[in-house]
Amino acid sequence: MNISTYLLHRLQSLGVDHVFGIPGDYVLPFFDVLTASDVEHVATCNELNAGYAADGYARLKGLSAVAVTYGPGSFSLVNAVAGAYAERVPMVVICGGPQREAYTNKPHLHHILPDNYSASLKIFAEITVGAELLEDPDQAPARIDELLSRAYRECRPVYLEIPVDLQLYQCPAPREWVPAGSSAGNPNVSAVAQKIAERMTATDRCVVLVGHEVRSAGLEENVLALIDETDLPVASVFSGKADYLEQHPRCIGIYLGLGSPDAVRDYVESADVVVWLGAVPSDFNKGASPTAPSDEQSVIIFDGRVTNAGETVSDASLAEVLTALRALLPANRWSSVAAPVQIFTHKPSNQYDPVSDQKLTNQRLYERLVHFIKDGDVVLADGGPSVNLAYVQFPAGVRFIVSSYWASIGSGLGFTLGACFATTSVQQRILAILGDGSFQMTAQELSSLIRYGKTCVVVVINNSGYTLERVIHDGPFNDIADWHYHRLPEVFGEAPGLQVRTEGDLEAALAQADVHTGPGPLLIEIFLDAWDVPEAFMTIGAKMGK
């Protein structure tokens, strides 16, 4: 077979059945092979959105691929790939480059920076765990296998630049192969885990904050087992909201610094030991709180490192540390420790009675949505809704997808497109809740959802601009054009669109959404006042603004 076929075969063996991207002259041979293969090409409207779609796809499938041409194509991907790197999403970037001799002779070619043929490689080296130019055709299969193993092992993107005259080069058929897993382990982990376990068990006031790396490493069941075995109090955080544990009896709620419910904030910030388990102790997760967990209080297990009491151990996988702690922590150690239980602003157990002609508010919208979201749903968010949904208690079977660490607004609709291709069950609902500012950045992918007949519900919150930025620092630069969002589905291809201004309108729209079977999306435009935001928004925003 040829090198392109080899690559597609390897991707498909890892569960990748779709490649997102846009063709260009340096990658056309690959696209010819892709078109003739069993792997489906998904054409997005631009390369950035292809990267976002690949990100959303990988979060559900475990790996994704995106294909572009050199220069304008690859550089347009940079933000999406950087986000995947930050949030540990495995993605294979396939970039077609000029002929091999051009890398040596350096002629002036279109799409190439003058005398800088290595620019793309250098840029992607900073935002992947492996960026390589496949120059030697005889070594190409081995290099492909190594890079795919790295993406799989480290849960981060890799970059393959394949010269146009190499893409159809013949190579041996692939042998039987399993991507290389993690290494034998770090012998220092045992000692540091022992110290952490001793520190934790020495106090009743210990709490675990669970973040996005747990999900990306597939360790949700391990974390739940740790909580069950020890009865440790545990909290969900903004960057990596732990949808799978929010119904657990030892889940105290959502911690978001100044934006936390009072009982959760008091418990976390007064704890003797706060374990950041696959969670980043970032400004967003600390919610601008002046009394957020300090370095002295914290044990940080994040990004392949463990920091405890001023000591840092590198090359320590989250899985390795979690396994060690489960073996060391005593059973039921915290069973008698009183802690808050499931403190969320919006809970399914709360009563909601709509008032038909009452103008809809932000608070009432999310009070209603918590009853609409069902077990098994995939919920995606972007912009202001991503923060509002942090306060919603999800059923254990919900999958919540949002860029909350990299926090790139505009990613949500691209994520939604990718998620629609990743889900295989027609019973699994896809619900996207997007701010109007973020939607405007990638709105053209609504046409892709219609083109491919992907059934989902897209909610656009029309509150006239960048709400999150307003509460941090307001100005006319936060205003955006006033689109008629509910009419865009008609422009893009005859899909339905609805408007919501009252609680009665919302009931009618959600009733239609509940039975929507497509094909294609249902778009719901919801009107809210520009400054109708939760008090927690205002508190955090004011602090961050200073």
Of the candidates 37, 112, 97, the residue with the CA atom closest to the CA atom of residue 67: 97
Residue 16 pLDDT class (50, 70, 90 cuts):
very high
Among the ranges given (112-116, 182-186, 230-234), the one the predictor scored with the smallest mean pLDDT: 182-186
pLDDT in tens, 152-162: 999 999 999 99
For position 545, what pLDDT does the model report? 77
CA distances from 438 to 24, 381, 382, 459, 460 (A): 27, 10, 6, 12, 9
Token pair of 389, please? 């949904």
Among the ranges given (73-77, 90-94, 490-494), the one the predictor scored with the smallest mean pLDDT: 490-494
In this prediction, residues 330-336 reach a mean pLDDT of: 96
For position 528, what pLDDT does the model report? 95
Query: In whole angstroms, what is the distance from residue 43 CA to residue 538 CA?
Result: 40
For position 424, what pLDDT does the model report? 76
Residue 478 pLDDT class (50, 70, 90 cuts):
confident
The answer to whether the CB of 181 falls within 8 A of the CB of 15 is no
Query: Does position 460 have pLDDT exceeding 80, yes or no?
Result: yes
3-state secondary structure (DSSP) of residue 23: coil
What residues form DSSP beta bridges with 210? 236, 277
Q: Torsion angle of alpha carbons 190, 191, 197, 199, nearest 10°?
A: -160
Domains by residue range for the chain, with CATH? 3-163 (3.40.50.970), 188-328 (3.40.50.1220), 362-545 (3.40.50.970)
H-type alpha helices, 126-175: 140-154
pLDDT over 90 percentage in the chain? 83
> What does the DSSP 8-state code read for residue 479?
B
Instruction: Calculate the CA 259 to chain-centre distance.
Output: 22
Of 147 and 383, the one with more pLDDT: 147
The answer to whether the CB of 284 falls within 8 A of the CB of 219 is no
Among the ranges given (87-101, 396-410, 467-481), the one the predictor scored with the smallest mean pLDDT: 467-481
In this prediction, residues 152-177 reach a mean pLDDT of: 94
End-to-end CA distance of the chain: 60
Residue 185 pLDDT class (50, 70, 90 cuts):
confident
Query: In whole angstroms, what is the distance from residue 244 CA to residue 88 CA?
Result: 18
Q: What are phi and psi of 261, to 5 degrees?
A: -55, 145
In this prediction, residues 159-182 reach a mean pLDDT of: 90
pLDDT in tens, 485-511: 999 999 998 778 999 999 999 999 999
Residue positions counted in the chain: 546
For position 183, what pLDDT does the model report? 58
Instruction: Calculate the CA 155 to chain-centre distance.
Output: 12
Residue 184 pLDDT class (50, 70, 90 cuts):
low
For position 182, what pLDDT does the model report? 61
In this prediction, residues 123-131 reach a mean pLDDT of: 98
One-letter amino acid of 315? D
Query: Does position 216 have pLDDT exceeding 90, yes or no?
Result: yes
In this prediction, residues 177-193 reach a mean pLDDT of: 80
For position 536, what pLDDT does the model report? 73
In this prediction, residues 129-153 reach a mean pLDDT of: 95
For position 271, what pLDDT does the model report? 97
Among the ranges given (271-285, 297-311, 419-433), the one the predictor scored with the smallest mean pLDDT: 419-433
Could you check whether the bond before residue 98 is cis, i.e. omega within 30 degrees of 0? no
Mean residue pLDDT across the chain: 93
For position 187, what pLDDT does the model report? 83
Query: Does position 350 have pLDDT exceeding 70, yes or no?
Result: yes
For position 134, what pLDDT does the model report? 95
In this prediction, residues 244-273 reach a mean pLDDT of: 95
Give the CA radius of gyration of the chain: 24
